[in-house]
Homo-oligomer: A and B are copies of this chain.
Amino acid sequence: MSSNIAALADEGRVEIDHVSIRFTSKKGDHLALAETRLQLEPGTFTALIGPSGCGKSTLLNALAGFVEPTAGQIRIDGRPVDGPGPNVGVVFQQYALFPWFTALGNVKFALQRFGLGKTELHERAMAALAEVGLETQADKFPGQLSGGMKQRVGIARTLAYEPKVLLMDEPFGALDAQTRREMHDLLLRVWEKHKATVLFVTHDVDEALLLADHVHVLSRAPGRIIRSYDLSASRPRAISRDFPDLLDTREEILALLKPEPAEDRGDVASVS
């Protein structure tokens, strides 16, 4: 595509420097994220995985500049984050579509920074919608879309924008398996083209293993990173015998996420 801001391989370094986040309310303090140190190299794909309520969304919100860390500092390319900015694209857990724009209008909004002509703007936006399989829904308003459709519009919008750092909070949670697979392909395609730094929150271990270079597992609340994995398998990957490392890592992560002494209740999709 026309812009190549994100193509500079040394842009998009994210440093999470001794960050912890605490919410205060009338009933006292609540540590949402325990002290966390993490560095994301430019152009890498990192997945975060952890139990519900452990602070994943909170960490993402801090990276995006929406929430201020209680302690520590977050830097992007050396500059401390002090608010939301154009360098960091976010796919929101709650979609965050503008209800006053159609699906197409929402995507166009993101494309306007490229200063395109009217026809090109329209064509690029339609192309972005087509990539998420919604070209026929372009004129619908968010209120008329199904849950999964809204999520895909949100994805199309953020990807079209080509940010240097891309934060995604359970972006595929409301999608069926097939659509989800298509979205995986799309995401990897876009990522390889623009080499954005991606941080991806998911509940699906397989998804993390299929997509990421690095997987970090968080503890129960208050979350902190308890294990990290580097995945070097080439893409496209599959969770199968062809990728034995991935299968091993999968077992390990699943065991980590189980809080009790791992009693085998047999309801895990235990691959033989």
A139 lies within 8 A of B52 (CB): no
Least CB distance, A183 to chain B, in whole angstroms: 10
A259 lies within 8 A of B178 (CB): yes
Specify the main secondary structure of chain A where it touches its partner.
loop
Q: Would you call A22 an interface residue if the criterion is a C-beta within 8 Å of the partner chain's C-beta atoms?
A: no
A254 lies within 8 A of B147 (CB): no
When C-beta atoms are compared, the residue in chain B nearest to A256 turns out to be B178
Q: Would you call A258 an interface residue if the criterion is a C-beta within 8 Å of the partner chain's C-beta atoms?
A: yes
Taking each of A236, A237, A258, A266, which has the highest tally of chain B beta carbons within 10 Å of its own beta carbon?
A266
B269 lies within 8 A of A206 (CB): yes
Q: Would you call A144 an interface residue if the criterion is a C-beta within 8 Å of the partner chain's C-beta atoms?
A: yes
A268 lies within 8 A of B176 (CB): no
Contacts of A258 in B (CB 8 A): 178
Residues of A near any B CB (own CB < 8 A)? 23, 25, 27, 49-53, 57, 93, 137, 139, 144-149, 152, 170, 173-181, 184-185, 203-206, 210, 236-242, 254, 257-259, 265-272
